[in-house]
Amino acid sequence: MAKKKLGLKERYAALTRGLDWETTYEPMDEVFPYDRYEGIKIVDWDAWADPFRLTMDAYWKYQSEKERKLYAILDAFQQNNGQLNISDARYLSAVKIWLQGITPLEYVAHRGFAHAGRAFRGAGARVACQMQSIDELRHAQTQLHAFSHYNKYFNGMHNFAHMRDRAWYLSIPKSFFEDAYSAGPFEFVTSISFAFEYVLTNLLFMPFVSGAAYNGDMATTTFGFSAQSDESRHMTLGLEVVKFMLEQHEDNVPIVQAWLDKWFWRGYRLLGLVGTMMDYMLPKKVMCWKEAWEIYWEENGIALFHDLGRYGIRLPKHHEVAGKEKHRLTHEMWTTLYQFGNALGLHTWIPNDEELDWFSEKYGELFDTMYKPRLLYLRELEEKGERYFNNRLPMVCQVCQIPVFFTEPDDPQTQCVRIVEHSGTKHHCCSDGCKDIFEREPEKYVQALIPPQQVYRGEAGGATNIFEYAAWLHLERDVDTGEYRGSPDHQHWLEWQRRHKAASPDEAA
Amino acid sequence: MSIDLKTASIEPIRRTFDHIAARLGPGKSPTRYQEGVWGLQPALNFHYRPTWDPARLLYDPERSAIRMADYDDLVDPRQYYYGTWTIQRGKQQDSQEKNFEFVDKRGLVDSLDEAWQRRLARLVVPLRHVAWAANNNNCYIAAYGYGAPLTSACSMHMMDHLAVAQYVSRLGLLLAGNETTCLDAAKAEWMEDPMWQPLRALVERTMVTRDWCELFVVQNLLVDGTVHPLVFDRFDKLLVAHGGAAFSMLSEFMVDWFAESSRWVDAVIERVAAESPGNAELCTAWVSQWLPRVQEALLPLAGYAFAGEASAMLDGIVDDVRARAAKCGLAA
């Protein structure tokens, strides 16, 4: 028989799209009960353009090669005490933020994409989401396996699974992803694949993975680079799903726009933590938050939204506020983390002189007049043996769950608080962006669990003060929490450096 | 004599994460599997009700009637985390690819006479739709099931089923000289041929089954546990006897994978049933309700392939499934 040569597209269609059928013994709406209630209208699922035509044979081939290399390096890292090669043990606070805040989200993403991978009526969309679901599982597990070694030598990581579901500051990432997973499949994919992974991904990935590379963290660098090709697939899916919805029906445009407004702002708020990590926790700096925001949002992100203009999409609401905040976001966030250090599973500290100079160079006058004096004052207190802690839990935003500490967009000296009322109860929001999100779906956001309020209700193991609260989080005082200088992590680091290197960068500083 | 290598030795301050240590007990080091699945699913303090199932929590054990004190007990005896799973499948794919190339290069499909080619096309190629439904059903469990050991293994099983569907599809392409005619005909048969309708009705029924544990039992034990032996074992033997050894090469993955994954399927059901008499009763009831329906749905296929021997052959296959269920502690 004469053999025909199948093109990639044709082969993919035969091996994937052709598997599906219109059910007749059970109604399609019963088989796919979740892809209509959000109001997105899909006229023709066949118009879905598969963003990556990956069949399982190729998937296994690529992924198994990547896993072999990755685990060989992780084994070598462990065998050779790779933890000794990082720039400084302060860097571990970045790893702790990742393990406590980001790794658990990879698992939620695995579940959320399984949800979307079962929900969509179109076979192409289902398979793309299924592949992302198992990729996300990969990311959760490779991160655990990479961080497992650090956990053996440093504190603050051992109880991450317990803290993930309880700690006030981990409510920020937890509520973000649960907001997405509790939404319908279209909103879920818009939020995670498009807003988070396509528009904002560089602002998450670059600080962590380049930060790891700059700071000698071979384990994180390796899984980060290994995940990169997965991420580019995921980004393509994000763009495809948004374009698909916009092309399918004009009624979808306002729905998608509202989701983009919401998830831009929600993603930006979450990235505040990442920016702070990048500016303050990396002993060797990659770039500052302001620069990253300018490149990845103000140049690339805005250009992308201009491309979507032909579908009737405009820039996300309040994006200009993010531009105003870029000069101060991380400084405001760091002093917040610094003062609530008794209830954090990571260490905080005041930057050294060299770092203060770097901030002056990057952030200019506003830093020198507003934030540097504050940091110097806190340093002075510390030197007097009066390291400052705020031992009351902060009031947090009803939507993003970040403490209400941001300042007014046009006035960095005035705290920004927005109050919304729903069914006779007042709720606090940190910004107009979060207030808008609340007002669009009040029924959803009144459900949010607000950790400080749980404490006051006695639902945190009956804790009556911050130390009891930290103990309820399984945080050991001044071991997992508190000031970096003098902590066991710091002391171990100095000891290991003495034994294994001539001098430590920490001592030199 | 061993070679004594010296490396820098630094005493670790702990062996693993607290929640892993608590399960393992003192002094034990975990495997990567254990660190990769235990405790990974969020457990409490969920912020919002799911808009797609507002009566329940985001993660809710009540999406199945079974109850476990600890869902992290539903471990995979293969200890598959993503890395070990994908590396193992990568190896199998390599060897499967070589088989496809070999069969293609030697024109082995053509050495089967046309009547048997037709039987192969008619009985095997529509199974791609059955495997696709199995993919969707395991996706359902990954999405709405409870606990990371279960959802992670189900998502691997989901991708495995997609691969089965695609290997079967490649067989269909091979049978038609890379034209999609055979696949198109198989789909038409799946949709309309009376021989396939009972099975399609059953498969569609599984796709609206909402209890994830029921779906696990029905899909992974009953449907796969009968379809795979029927086609990739009994029918394979028949084909081999008629010059169709090429089919064995093209279905090598399915045979190995079925044997391997059945260990996991049985282990999960056995652990669920061992938890309580209530769980065992539920699983038993699911087997007794569904297995006769599965058998009935497969009878036309068996009849097509084995004519007068079909009924006895299917009884044998169903008995094997019952024996598996009994070994899992069910009174089926």
Cα–Cα distances (Å) from A252 to A35, A236, A372, A387, B111, in that order, read 13, 20, 48, 54, 54
Domain ranges for chain B: 77-327
Q: Which residues pair with A421 in a beta bridge?
A: A426
In chain B the first and final C-alpha atoms are separated, in Å, by 56
Q: Which of A183-192, A231-240, A315-324 comes out lowest in average pLDDT?
A: A231-240
Give the nearest partner residue to A179 out of B48, B143, B178, using CB atoms.
B48
B64 contacts B229 by C-beta, under 8 angstroms: no
CATH code that applies to domain B77-327: 1.10.620.20
B273 contacts B283 by C-beta, under 8 angstroms: yes
- In this prediction, residue A378 has a pLDDT band, given cuts at 50, 70 and 90, of very high
Structure tokens at A419: 């109050």
Q: How many CB atoms lie within 10 A of CB A324?
A: 16
Indicate if the pLDDT at residue B70 is higher than 70: yes
Residues 161-200 of B with CB under 8 A from A: 162-163, 165-166, 169-170, 173, 177-180, 183-184, 187, 190-191, 200
CA distance B47 to A183: 12
pLDDT for B26 equals: 85
Chain A residues in contact with B82 by the CB 8 A cut-off are: 67, 134, 137-138, 141-142
pLDDT for A205 equals: 82
Indicate if the pLDDT at residue A220 is higher than 90: yes
pLDDT for A500 equals: 74
pLDDT for A501 equals: 62
B158 contacts B248 by C-beta, under 8 angstroms: no
- In this prediction, residue A507 has a pLDDT band, given cuts at 50, 70 and 90, of very low
Residues 66-85 of B with CB under 8 A from A: 81-83
A215 contacts A91 by C-beta, under 8 angstroms: yes
- Using DSSP's 3-state secondary structure scheme, residue A213 falls into helix
Question: Do the chains contact at B36 and A144, CB–CB below 8 Å?
Answer: yes
CA distance B257 to B95: 13
CA distance B278 to B268: 16
Question: Do the chains contact at B14 and A158, CB–CB below 8 Å?
Answer: yes
pLDDT for A42 equals: 97
Average pLDDT for B241-245: 90
Please give the residue of chain A at the shortest CA–CA distance from B164: A56
Question: Do the chains contact at A145 and B187, CB–CB below 8 Å?
Answer: no
Question: Do the chains contact at B18 and A110, CB–CB below 8 Å?
Answer: no
A309 contacts A298 by C-beta, under 8 angstroms: no
pLDDT for B1 equals: 56
DSSP of A6-34, one letter per residue? Answer: PPHHHHHHHHTGGG----SSS-HHHHSTT
pLDDT for A508 equals: 45
pLDDT for A6 equals: 83
For chain B, how many helices (H) and strands (E)? Answer: 15, 0
pLDDT for B2 equals: 63
Please give the residue of chain A at the shortest CA–CA distance from B166: A15
pLDDT for A504 equals: 43
- In this prediction, residue B111 has a pLDDT band, given cuts at 50, 70 and 90, of confident
Question: Do the chains contact at B159 and A56, CB–CB below 8 Å?
Answer: yes
Give the nearest partner residue to B155 out of A137, A160, A175, using CB atoms.
A137
Chain B residues in contact with A109 by the CB 8 A cut-off are: none
Average pLDDT for B77-98: 98
A179 contacts B36 by C-beta, under 8 angstroms: no
B239 contacts B247 by C-beta, under 8 angstroms: yes
pLDDT digits (tens, 9 = 90+) for A274-290: 999 999 999 999 999 99
pLDDT digits (tens, 9 = 90+) for A448-489: 999 999 999 999 999 999 999 999 999 999 999 999 999 999
Please give the residue of chain A at the shortest CA–CA distance from B89: A60
Average pLDDT for A28-49: 96
DSSP of A73-133, one letter per residue? Answer: HHHHHHHTTGGGGSS-GGGHHHHHHIIIIIHHHHHHHHHHHHHHHHH-SSHHHHHHHHHHH
pLDDT for B6 equals: 57
Please give the residue of chain A at the shortest CA–CA distance from B175: A1
Chain A residues in contact with B7 by the CB 8 A cut-off are: 79-81
Structure tokens at B52: 């797609």
Structure tokens at A273: 């933590």
pLDDT digits (tens, 9 = 90+) for A294-325: 999 999 999 999 999 999 999 999 999 999 99
Chain B residues in contact with A1 by the CB 8 A cut-off are: 110, 177
Q: How many CB atoms lie within 10 A of CB B179?
A: 17
For a pLDDT cut of 90, what percent of chain A falls above it?
Answer: 88
Chain A residues in contact with B41 by the CB 8 A cut-off are: 107, 111
pLDDT for A49 equals: 87
Chain A contact present for B19, CB below 8 A: yes
Q: Nearest to residue A193, comparing CAs of A115, A104, A101? A: A115
Q: Nearest C-alpha of chain A: how many angstroms from B153?
A: 10
pLDDT for A7 equals: 84
- In this prediction, residue B48 has a pLDDT band, given cuts at 50, 70 and 90, of very high
pLDDT for A503 equals: 43
Residues in chain A: 509
Average pLDDT for A173-192: 97
Chain A residues in contact with B40 by the CB 8 A cut-off are: 104, 107, 140, 144, 161
Q: Nearest C-alpha of chain B: how many angstroms from A433?
A: 19
The position carrying tokens 């870029």 is A326
pLDDT digits (tens, 9 = 90+) for A41-71: 999 999 998 878 899 999 999 999 999 999 9
Question: For chain B, what is the mean pLDDT?
Answer: 95
Task: Please report how many Cα atoms fall inside a 13 Å half-sphere around the Cα of residue B269, on the Cβ side.
Answer: 32
pLDDT for B3 equals: 62
Dihedral sign (CA A181, A185, A191, A194): positive
pLDDT for A195 equals: 87
CA distance A255 to A234: 22
Q: Nearest C-alpha of chain A: how many angstroms from B203?
A: 9
pLDDT digits (tens, 9 = 90+) for B199-241: 999 999 999 999 999 999 999 999 999 999 999 999 999 999 9
For a pLDDT cut of 90, what percent of chain B falls above it?
Answer: 91
Domain ranges for chain A: 62-348+390-501, 350-382
A and B: number of Cβ contacts within 8 A: 264
Q: Nearest C-alpha of chain B: how many angstroms from A239?
A: 23
Chain B residues in contact with A459 by the CB 8 A cut-off are: none
- Of B162, B181, B209, which to mutate for an interface test with A (greatest number of A Cβ within 10 Å)? B162
pLDDT digits (tens, 9 = 90+) for A129-170: 999 999 999 999 999 999 999 999 999 999 999 999 999 999
CA distance A392 to A395: 9
Indicate if the pLDDT at residue A506 is higher than 80: no
pLDDT for B110 equals: 85
Domain A62-348+390-501 sits in CATH 1.10.3720.10: no
Angle at A159 between CA A156 and CA A162, to 5 degrees: 135
Indicate if the pLDDT at residue A29 is higher than 90: yes
Indicate if the pLDDT at residue B253 is higher than 50: yes
Chain A residues in contact with B16 by the CB 8 A cut-off are: 148, 151-152
Average pLDDT for A233-257: 95
